[in-house]
Amino acid sequence: MKINVVESVLKANDAVARENRRRMDAAGVLAINIMSAPGSGKTALLEKTIPALKPEQLCAVLVGDLQTTRDAERLEGNAASITQINTGRGCHLSATQVAEGLDSLDLKGIDFLFIENVGNMVCPAAVDLGEHLRAVLLSVPEGDDKVAKYPTLFQPASVILLTKVDLLGLLDYERDKVYEDVSRVNTSAPLIELSPKTGQGMDRWLAWLQEQRRQRAIEQNAS
Amino acid sequence: MKINVVESVLKANDAVARENRRRMDAAGVLAINIMSAPGSGKTALLEKTIPALKPEQLCAVLVGDLQTTRDAERLEGNAASITQINTGRGCHLSATQVAEGLDSLDLKGIDFLFIENVGNMVCPAAVDLGEHLRAVLLSVPEGDDKVAKYPTLFQPASVILLTKVDLLGLLDYERDKVYEDVSRVNTSAPLIELSPKTGQGMDRWLAWLQEQRRQRAIEQNAS
């Protein structure tokens, strides 16, 4: 009973997700679902990414949080548009919440839509929001064992970002373990080491984003 | 429909949780549900706590994880008994999983049962496992905004542990914000700053545990 209901909820979600993707494709927007544990640096990454893409590329952001508008406030001023979605007790964003978020945006002229999911390494992984790509963050202080412990998050990642690498020398951390665990669950996603604080690795992340847009444009022209 | 099903699942869970509590009360075991984001240091805390309580007090541990037995392996040798519960895609432990864990333990002679929940700041908060107390961890590198963003986790906490305080000088972190946010959501739980790595604050945490056992014994004798 429980499983059937959960499955039908996910099916309904997936239909909305497909419609979200169609809307964004029609507007030429590339949507990236950003997922990680709480405090891995999703907002810090966007604080540095959005200004770096300007003025060539315009970004919009949907931010999911249980409570508060703190992340949205941190991002104000740089993105073309920011919409905060409070999920209450909800442990992830849903496609319907993203659809409502899209209603609040003027998608014209937007190149990237960043969807900052609720900080959670489990539940968001199962829920399609209509994104094109998934960026999964893992911060150094969380420990070098997290890829093996949360494979369902890392398996479908389009890119894996190892954040807060400026702390590597200060912590007992075996970076090789992370690469080894990633190679077991996901052989296609690049792993980018970065620190929005020092700027390390940001060029590689920005180049990856640009490359995804280029590929997307080629695919859309071909179809 | 969805809500009704979720409610009835939670009701069934609560009945099992009550039975778990009854079993542990009968055996004189004090059970502590340990919750936090992934990588806040739940296992590191237990690695230092369990040996420090010996030989006066014996501990058993139930460890919840999606995959792997790494946490259980880290704790081997010190606890009287360790049971790993793999939840697969499950985002929290359930009372039934804990009941099965209890079946695997000999509760006689056990003073503390530590239940290390799945690393997740959202879902575990809603689920009673039959524990007597909740210890909620928050590590410094996660940022000083997490109490406000995840109030449902911190509201029912019996104690709040600010971990990895050895990193305080290295990060932009406003400790006062945490105290302020805690005072808004939970006025009864002590906030203990600690670092299992350096030992800072461990005496206060151990004293808190001992005090809870003393109070529990008085309550049980009175009833």
- Go through the domains of chain A in sequence order and give each one's CATH number: 2-218 (3.40.50.300)
Assigned token pair, A71: 């992340």
pLDDT for A43-99, tens place per residue?
A: 999 999 999 999 999 999 999 999 999 999 999 988 889 999 999 989 999 999 999
Average confidence (pLDDT) over B132-137: 98
- The one-letter code for the residue type at B60 is A
CA diameter of chain A: 52
Task: Note the pLDDT of residue B4.
Answer: 56
Chain A residue numbers with beta carbons less than 8 Å from the beta carbon of B181 are: none
Residues of chain B with pLDDT > 70, as a percent, come to 97
Q: State the Cα torsion B50-B41-B138-B92 to the nearest 10°.
A: -90
pTM over 0.90: yes
Task: Note the pLDDT of residue A6.
Answer: 64
Task: Note the pLDDT of residue B138.
Answer: 98
Q: CB neighbours (10 Å) of residue A27? A: 15
At A163 the three-state DSSP class reads strand
ipTM of the complex: 0.89
B123 interfacial to chain A (CB closer than 8 Å) = yes
Beta carbons of B39 and A38 less than 8 Å apart = no
Question: At A138, is the pLDDT very low, low, confident or very high (cuts 50, 70, 90)?
Answer: very high
Residues 125-154 of B with CB under 8 A from A: 126, 139, 141-143, 145-146, 148-152
- The one-letter code for the residue type at A186 is N
